[in-house]
Structure 1
Amino acid sequence: MARLQRDFFERDTVEVAQALIGCKLIRRQDGIEAEAVIVETEAYKGSGDPASHAARGVTPRNRLMFGPPGILYVYFSYGMHHCMNIVTEPDGVPGAVLLRAAVPVSGLEWIRSNRPRIPEARLMDGPGKLTQALAVDLALNGFDVCDPSRTELRLEAGEALPFQATTRIGISKGKELPWRFAAAPGRTMPPSPGFR
């Protein structure tokens, strides 16, 4: 499949969050390649989105959210786990999509080594679990997923999956915005855990 190019991410954040459902997330480390299908995302914008890290303008922490698109914005949340976002919108316009959940397709043994003694259905059913399963941490903050010379992580087009929209979770502001998207139930592939 074709690697997702910059123009895929250089558009409205909500549109990208929807389009990422069903896309493939491929992680390569130490000669091992693991693949997962994205089944849940959340969109975060700029000043009009009180839950966004970019709501109050540019800071040293959130500067990546202002572009260019196709860059990873990884941060450490609550001193417990990493969250992986992909920057969206044209350069200079803040936006990012949080990858909330995925379903493993290959490299399961390596994924399990990163999440030992966890049932398969729970390996990647949350943003912190997803990053732990794929060994994503602050070392990948600023990583360009569109750079063909980089093989550590890439996104590819996949099967377009029907999805459902709900309000976002795990936040205290902007909860009313229906910017969380998850693969709908009833597919042969397990849906997002949020809709089981």
Structure 2
Amino acid sequence: MTELTNLSILPVDFYEQPTLELAKSLLGCLLVKDTAAGSASGFIVETEAYMGPLDRAAHSFGNRRTKRTEVMFGESGSIYTYVMHTHTLVNVVSGGVGHPEAILIRAVEPHSGLELMQERRGIADIRKWTDGPGKLAKAMGITMEDYGGSFTAPPLYLAAGVEPEHISCGPRIGIGNSGEAKDYPWRFWVTGSPFISRATNRG
């Protein structure tokens, strides 16, 4: 994607779109994380939408409200991080207050802080640094300390990027025990991107 010079942090009202629309609008946006070691960023190339109480694959299915899901009931644009198999995953809260929906950021195309990202991942192939939700969090320095923050301000935020020419959609990944929800076409990706998760058809 193109080089960006002046970052424009996305405002709160950007996140007030319906969740499925927001999941597509996030594609091409720039995810930025500032840490003591430096800043790293990447263009979002893959997302998954989780539609709350009626979505068997969502953490908030059945309006489940726990210490982990509490942030999902808050304002759109809040940061929802959780740990799965020792890996931190990062989500954008959507749906509005009292409507616990969220969008998982599944993959990004590395943009800045490349040396830092490579050091954190420990591999040479740039295509494998961020081609999955746990991988991108590690590469960018996203941790559980980011839970409950807002994507509208540092240290973890989203900026305007480059709108993709084509978007593909299909079933979400890794939710085989969620009944009919496993077939919902609520995963979106930039068509043809070499940086999306390996489990995704890049076409």
TM-score greater than 0.5 by the shorter chain: yes
- Residue of 88, 91, 116 corresponding to 1:85: 91
Alignment partner, residue 60 of structure 1: 67
Matches within 5 A, 1:131-146: 131-146=137-152
Task: Report the residue type matching 1:170 in the other structure.
Answer: G
Shift of residue 35, structure 1, vs aligned partner: 1.6
Shift of residue 191, structure 1, vs aligned partner: 5.0
Task: Report the residue type matching 1:180 in the other structure.
Answer: R
State the Cα deviation string for residues 76-105 of structure 1 (Å, max 9, x = none): 013x21110010122111111100000101
Q: Is the Cα contact below 8 Å between 1:184 and 1:192 reproduced in 2?
A: no
Count of matched residue positions in the alignment of Structure 1 and Structure 2: 189
Alignment partner, residue 175 of structure 1: 182
SS in 1 for 2:122: coil
Q: Is the Cα contact below 8 Å between 2:52 and 2:102 reproduced in 1?
A: no
Alignment partner, residue 155 of structure 2: 152
Question: Which structure has the highest helix share of the two?
Answer: 2
Shift of residue 145, structure 1, vs aligned partner: 1.5
SS in 2 for 1:28: strand
Task: Report the residue type matching 2:73 in the other structure.
Answer: F
The 1:116–1:25 alpha-carbon spacing in structure 2 relative to 1, beyond 3 Å, is same
**Any gaps of 5 or more consecutive residues in structure 2?**
1-6
Q: Is the Cα contact below 8 Å between 1:114 and 1:132 reproduced in 2?
A: yes
The 1:126–1:191 alpha-carbon spacing in structure 2 relative to 1, beyond 3 Å, is closer
Counterparts of 2:135 and 2:110 in 1: how far apart (Å)?
A: 12
Matches within 5 A, 1:97-136: 97-136=103-142
Alignment partner, residue 12 of structure 1: 18
Moved over 4 A (4+): none
Counterparts of 1:136 and 1:35 in 2: how far apart (Å)?
A: 11
**Percent identity of paired positions between Structure 1 and Structure 2:** 37
**Any gaps of 5 or more consecutive residues in structure 1?**
none
2:168 matches 1:164: yes
State the Cα deviation string for residues 33-75 of structure 1 (Å, max 9, x = none): 2120000000001111000000022222101111211111000
Shift of residue 31, structure 1, vs aligned partner: 5.7
Under a length normalisation based on structure 1, what TM-score does the superposition of the two structures give? 0.91
